[in-house]
Amino acid sequence: MPGSKTQGPHGAGLGLRRALMGPLLSMDSNSVDFLELAPENWIGVGGRYGEGLEQLGERFPFIMHGLSLDIGGPDPLDDELLDGVAELMQRFQVPIYSEHLTYCAADGHLYDLLPIPFTDEAVHYVSERIGRVQDRLGMPLVLENASYYAQAHKDLDEAAFISAVVAESGCELLLDVNNVYVNSINHGYDPLTFIDALPLDSVSYLHIAGHYDEADDLKVDTHGTDVIDPVWALLNDTYARLGAVPTLLERDFNFPSLDSLLQEIARIRQAQAACAQQRKALRA
């Protein structure tokens, strides 16, 4: 699906989790620029959570980040899931639906995001499935570079595989900066060299998150801690390449106070403002 890149929200966003519903409903409307929700957690939801979702949708732009599309798996695509995604997108006028460049099912859900073999055959297989999703939704699918800990067979390196999928399918890229950092430690590569090898003109937005230090050479992508300084530095380096693109703070458990999360949102905004100022100075 060629064409101009999807236009989504600007600024800094936060993941919408049910555990945060109360604090999110009570925060000021300028606290974040957008919210990201996992459609699987909200399709068909009513009651107080459904009412809370409607209230947040009136105050903040939404984008969607799915968990179970299984774009690289052997099972048929889940048409019922895509129908639910389409309904939510229409109801809340959602401009972006992102997912993971992984597989998560084989004769049923595996409840994990697993790496696809980095091969030409996989590029063609995944791209065909992406095309069907894009045709069904009438918009580009946005796919995230995933963290992984054991590599399946590969004929291409990770960046070349991602680039080939983007080129063949016309999908867009969700660049997860923390995943780049985690993979760079676990698999021994330079994170900026990896980022520079990606199709950066296809990046729609960024993710940033915390992770768990299992060992000096093993990091686990948990979204359960604060973002660390090396990841903040990598975010700044990414902005230097892309500009101040929209950035989402992920936090899935071990939730601190809302004030603590908003301090990280403020740090994203500060980095975006500094990037914009630097670019303005270069143009002067």
Measured over the CA atoms of residue 217, residue 220, residue 226 and residue 230, the dihedral's sign is: positive
Q: What tokens does 248 get? A: 């989402």
Residue 163 lies in a domain: yes
Residue 1 lies in a domain: no
Contacts of 278 (CB under 8 A, 6+ apart): 240
Residue 76 lies in a domain: yes
Question: What is the domain count for the chain?
Answer: 1
Helices (DSSP H) in 73-217: which residue ranges?
79-92, 120-137, 158-169, 177-187, 191-196
Q: Which domain holds residue 212?
A: 12-283
pTM: 0.95
Residue 4 lies in a domain: no
CA distances in angstroms from 150 to 130, 166, 242, 280, listed in the order given? 24, 23, 29, 43
Determine how many CB atoms are found less than 10 A away from the CB of residue 116: 22
Residue 201 lies in a domain: yes
Where do we find the tokens 């459904």? 50
CA proximity to 131, closest of 202, 205, 71: 71
Residue 100 lies in a domain: yes
Determine how many CB atoms are found less than 10 A away from the CB of residue 197: 15
Query: 133 and 146 in contact (C-beta within 8 Å)?
Result: no
Residue 2 lies in a domain: no
pLDDT tens string for the chain (284 positions)? 444 577 788 999 999 999 999 999 999 999 999 999 999 999 999 999 999 999 999 999 999 999 999 999 999 999 999 999 999 999 999 999 999 999 887 877 766 788 999 999 999 999 999 999 999 999 999 999 999 988 888 899 999 999 999 999 999 999 999 999 999 999 999 999 999 999 999 999 999 999 988 888 888 889 899 999 999 999 999 999 999 999 999 999 999 999 999 999 999 999 999 999 998 888 87
CA proximity to 212, closest of 283, 138, 149: 149
* CATH assignment of the domain containing 32: 3.20.20.150
Determine how many CB atoms are found less than 10 A away from the CB of residue 58: 9
Q: In this structure, what are the phi and psi dihedrals at residue 65, rounded to the nearest 5 degrees?
A: -130, 105
CA proximity to 36, closest of 60, 57, 65: 65
Q: For position 85, what pLDDT does the model report?
A: 97
